[in-house]
């Protein structure tokens, strides 16, 4: 599904190298988790995959189902099936959440040569999916993320994911800021989307989330590289001992 | 005190090229007084403080700068709305294209006829609010209008007027020069909506005097014509009585040069005045909103909301003043003027002013210039929205505060659709 090879990324404006040769392969239907100390480059990886400005790829490649991602505009990557749930979802005053969702869904359908959903069909699906995430009608009407609590913003990200039905979902610290119940809701939302044709890359600091969303593979990122890869037990090790041992082992 | 030499000669040349229409004695007198105001003030010049941001040359020249005709290729504005149409072509009344000038609770006629007759409210108003509006700032182009206006609409609402009166200005000659003057009186407890649309002429000078009596309501929605080369200077003078309402909204897309002045006096307690404008300019576009609101009564509210989206070297100007006179306690004055610059070539010049002589008031003003929010843009794109559509969404969200000032839903939708159309035609 997603193949990242030897990815090197620096900041466009400064001579700061952030990713120093990331290698990562996620098969169809798999769930991978990335853990790693603050500042190790996890969000940067997610931004570079989705095409945010400000980063320069100096070497390496990233492909989604064989198609070169790095060559595409952000909207083309989305239409190709990539989705990023932001660590910090963006507030957009003046754009209604519903308008935003419908515009996004229809833009992707159009890009894929599918018919646009009618207003009625769309409304029905949104309402149903919003309900399972406990997002009420008022939140759908309000401007995108404006005045949403931290947890509401994260739930809204998952709603977008549910509506867009991407193939490759990157979740950047979707668990941060969530209370215990919300974490369950969000995990259920994610698990409901798990399928053979859909893969997940879950960035998190905590084992807790991985209790709900069970990963097939866990990676540890440090200083711009994946330094260790293992099974779910790796997350438990981090939870119990922190990164010191792993970092020492690699040094 | 004499005028500077250039001003003197420019003023003489302009005045001499115009013919003052005849009429009843009162009208001739009002026009001659206006001419005297023009001669005393002189035509505006670039050096005048009030014209610091907008070159008045094209409004002052003897001959208008020609403006190519433009086929808008869209439904006429307000087409789906039940309305009473009054049509002018290059400033000349078109009886065939207009509806019967009659409606319930409404006296309606042409200025060209009214100035031949003896209609008390026209007589009382013509040039009167314009004269009041000359203090403390000179508005010579409005005085010029009173002196030489060839026609216009006179309206007196004596109760609720169901159908909006829609003044539609067509442009058929590339070198037309039109001067129109409307006189509007909304009587106690009456309500009236006036719509305006169209480019009007190559050069258009329009003046509107609106007297809103106690408890009366006046609504004004305007869409200025899309002809790229048209030039317009407009003045709206309003006087508000106790518990009266005056609400005006203007959408301007295109037009090489536009100056819209609003001069309102809130003279009765508890009056409400809202002035809003949205403009979108691309390229050779200069748009100036100049507003002067005087609070001279207790517990009045005024609100100014102006939004400008500018690209490819377009220029936006805002000069807005709230004057709160002594004794105008409990005044609630709000003013916001914002521009969204879509590139580095475009420019927004703003001069917001507050002058307050009462101690128990709440007035706020703000002016900002910004670019598209890149973070929001990326967020939208990451959801699959193409950059051009994402940009338009952000532009529309920026404009929303001004558009939302339009109370009537159908009119709001119509205006919104025009703006969306303009944006869509420019999508890269
Ligand atoms: N646009 C930027 N400008 C300056 N520094 C940046 C930028 N983007 C990333 N960085 C730097 O790159 C490094 C990696 O940041 P990144 O956000 O990818 O880390 P992270 O692993 O997601 O951390 P966290 O766990 O705290 O979310 C940090 O040192 C960060 O300060
Ligand atoms: Mg991060």
A 105-164 residues with CB < 8 A to B = 105, 107-108, 111, 143, 160, 164
User: Cβ neighbours of residue B425 under 8 Å, at least 6 residues apart?
Assistant: none
A50 shares contact with chain B (CB less than 8 Å): yes
pLDDT recorded at residue B75: 85
How many CA atoms lie within 13 Å of B56's alpha carbon, on the beta-carbon side?
Answer: 23
Residue B197 lies in a domain: yes
User: Closest residue of A to B381, CA-based?
Assistant: A75
DSSP-assigned beta bridge partners for residue B347: B315
Residue B402 lies in a domain: yes
Query: Smallest Cβ distance to A95: which of B375, B387, B397?
Result: B397
Ion ligand 2 neighbours (CB, 5 A) are A 42-43, 87
Contact A75 B385 (CB under 8 A): yes
Residue B286 lies in a domain: no
**Distance separating alpha carbons of residues B425 and B414, to the nearest angstrom:** 17
Query: What does DSSP say about strands B257-266 and B231-240: parallel, antiparallel, or unpaired?
Result: parallel
Q: Assess whether pLDDT exceeds 90 at residue A180.
A: no
Residue B287 lies in a domain: no
pLDDT recorded at residue B428: 66
At the topology level, CATH places domain A2-91+167-250 in Rossmann fold (3.40.50)
- Residues spanned by the domain of B423: 373-428
Residues from chain B that touch A93, judged by Cβ atoms under 8 A, are 397
CA-based R_g, chain B, Å: 21
Do residue B236 and residue B380 come from a single domain? no
A75 shares contact with chain B (CB less than 8 Å): yes
Residue B338 lies in a domain: no
pLDDT recorded at residue A111: 85
Do residue B229 and residue B104 come from a single domain? yes
Query: What does DSSP say about strands B165-170 and B84-89: parallel, antiparallel, or unpaired?
Result: parallel
Residues from chain B that touch A79, judged by Cβ atoms under 8 A, are 384
- Residue A37 CA: which ligand 1 atom is closest? 25
Residue B293 lies in a domain: no
Do residue B106 and residue B227 come from a single domain? yes
Q: Which of B218, B253, B268 is the last residue of a domain?
A: B268
Q: Assess whether pLDDT exceeds 90 at residue A149.
A: no
**pTM (2 decimals)?**
0.90
Mean pLDDT of A3-14: 93
Residue B226 lies in a domain: yes
pLDDT tens-digit profile of A45-63? 999 999 999 999 999 999 9
Do residue B381 and residue B243 come from a single domain? no
**Ligand 2 center from residue B405 Cα (angstroms):** 41
Question: Which parts of chain B register pLDDT below 70?
Answer: 1, 428
Contact B397 A92 (CB under 8 A): yes
**Distance separating alpha carbons of residues B156 and B107, to the nearest angstrom:** 5
Nearest bound ligand to the CA of residue A87: 2
Shortest Cα–Cα distance, A171 to chain B (Å): 13
Q: Whose alpha carbon is nearest atom 27 of ligand 1? A: A38
Q: pLDDT-derived band of residue A112, with 50, 70 and 90 as boundaries?
A: confident
Contact A108 B393 (CB under 8 A): no
| ipTM, interface predicted TM-score of the complex | 0.94
Dihedral of alpha carbons B48, B50, B53, B59, sign: negative
Task: List C-alpha distances in Å: B193 to B161, B400, B411.
Answer: 8, 22, 11
Q: Which of B268, B301, B317 is the last residue of a domain?
A: B268
Instruction: Say if residue B136 is preceded by a cis peptide, omega within 30 of 0.
Output: yes
Count up the domains in chain B and report the number: 2
pLDDT recorded at residue B371: 95
**Ligand 1 center from residue A17 Cα (angstroms):** 11
- Count of helix runs (H) and strand runs (E) in chain A: 10, 12
Dihedral of alpha carbons B74, B80, B81, B86, sign: positive
Q: Assess whether pLDDT exceeds 70 at residue A251.
A: no
**Distance separating alpha carbons of residues B194 and B234, to the nearest angstrom:** 15
Q: Which of B268, B285, B303 is the last residue of a domain?
A: B268
Return the structure tokens found at B340. 């969204």
B 351-410 residues with CB < 8 A to A = 373-376, 378-387, 389-390, 393-394, 396-398, 400-401
Residue B349 lies in a domain: no
Domain locations along chain A: 2-91+167-250
Please state, rounded to an integer, the average pLDDT across all residues of chain A. Answer: 90
**Pocket residues: Cβ below 6 A from ligand 1:** A 11, 18, 36, 38-44, 54, 87
Do residue B32 and residue B159 come from a single domain? yes
């Amino acid at each position: 599904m997603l193949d990242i090879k030897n990815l090197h990324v620096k900041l466009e404006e400064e001579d700061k190298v952030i990713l120093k040769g990331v290698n990562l392969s996620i098969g169809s239907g798999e769930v991978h988790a990335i853990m790693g100390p603050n500042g190790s480059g996890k969000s940067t990886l997610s931004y570079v995959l989705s095409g945010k400005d400000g980063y320069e790829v100096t070497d390496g490649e990233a492909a989604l189902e064989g198609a070169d991602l790095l060559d595409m505009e952000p909207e083309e990557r989305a239409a190709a099936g990539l989705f990023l749930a932001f660590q910090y979802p963006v507030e957009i005053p003046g754009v209604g959440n519903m308008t935003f969702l419908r515009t996004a869904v229809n833009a992707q359908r159009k890009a894929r040569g599918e018919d646009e959903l009618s207003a009625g069909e769309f409304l029905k699906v949104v309402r149903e999916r919003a309900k399972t995430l406990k997002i009420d009608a008022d939140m759908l009407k309000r401007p995108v993320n404006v005045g949403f609590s931290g947890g509401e913003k994260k739930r809204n990200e998952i709603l977008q994911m549910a509506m867009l039905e991407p193939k490759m979902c990157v979740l950047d610290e979707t668990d941060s800021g969530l209370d215990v119940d919300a974490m369950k809701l969000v995990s259920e939302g994610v698990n409901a989307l798990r399928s053979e044709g859909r893969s997940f890359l879950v960035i998190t600091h905590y084992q807790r989330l991985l209790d709900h969303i069970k990963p097939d593979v866990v990676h540890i990122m440090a200083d711009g590289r994946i330094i260790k890869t293992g099974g779910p037990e790796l997350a438990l090790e981090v939870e119990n001992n922190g990164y010191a041992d792993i970092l020492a082992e690699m040094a | 005190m004499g005028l500077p030499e250039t001003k003197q000669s420019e003023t003489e040349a302009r005045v001499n090229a115009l013919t003052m229409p005849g009429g009843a004695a009162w009208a001739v007198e009002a026009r001659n007084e206006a001419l005297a105001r023009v001669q005393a003030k002189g035509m505006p010049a670039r050096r005048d403080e009030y014209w610091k941001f907008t070159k008045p040359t094209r409004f002052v020249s003897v001959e208008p700068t020609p403006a190519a005709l433009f086929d808008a290729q869209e439904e006429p504005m307000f087409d789906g709305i039940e309305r009473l149409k009054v049509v002018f072509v290059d400033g000349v009344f078109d009886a065939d294209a207009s509806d019967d000038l009659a409606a319930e609770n409404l006296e309606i006629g042409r200025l060209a006829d009214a100035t031949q007759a003896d209609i008390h409210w026209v007589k009382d108003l013509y040039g009167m609010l314009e004269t009041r509006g000359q203090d403390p700032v000179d508005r010579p182009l409005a005085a010029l209008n009173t002196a030489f206006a060839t026609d216009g609409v006179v309206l007196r609402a004596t109760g609720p007027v169901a159908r909006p009166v829609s003044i539609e200005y067509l442009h058929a000659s590339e070198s037309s020069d039109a001067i129109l003057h409307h006189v509007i009186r909304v009587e106690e407890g009456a309500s009236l909506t006036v719509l305006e649309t169209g480019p009007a002429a190559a050069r258009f000078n329009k003046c509107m005097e609106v007297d809103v009596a106690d408890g009366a309501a006046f609504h004004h929605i305007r869409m200025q014509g899309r002809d790229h080369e048209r030039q317009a200077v407009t003045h709206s003078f309003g006087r508000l009585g106790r518990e009266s309402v005056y609400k005006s909204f203007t959408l301007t897309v295109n037009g090489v040069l536009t100056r819209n002045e609003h001069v309102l006096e809130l003279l009765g307690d508890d009056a409400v005045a809202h002035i809003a404008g949205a403009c979108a300019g691309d390229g050779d576009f200069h748009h100036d909103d100049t507003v002067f609101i005087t609070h001279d009564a207790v517990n009045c509210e005024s609100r100014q909301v102006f939004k400008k989206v500018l690209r490819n070297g377009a220029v936006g100007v805002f000069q807005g003043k709230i004057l709160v006179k002594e004794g105008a306690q409990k005044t609630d004055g709000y003013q916001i003027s914002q521009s969204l610059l879509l590139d580095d070539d475009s420019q927004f010049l703003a001069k917001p002013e507050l002058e307050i002589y009462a101690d128990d008031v709440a007035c706020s003003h703000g002016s900002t210039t910004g670019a598209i929010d890149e973070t929001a843009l990326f967020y939208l794109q990451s959801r699959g929205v193409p950059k051009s559509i994402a940009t338009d969404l952000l532009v529309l969200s920026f404009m929303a505060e001004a558009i939302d000032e339009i109370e009537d839903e159908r009119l709001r939708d119509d205006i919104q659709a025009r703006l969306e159309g303009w944006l869509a035609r420019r999508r890269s």
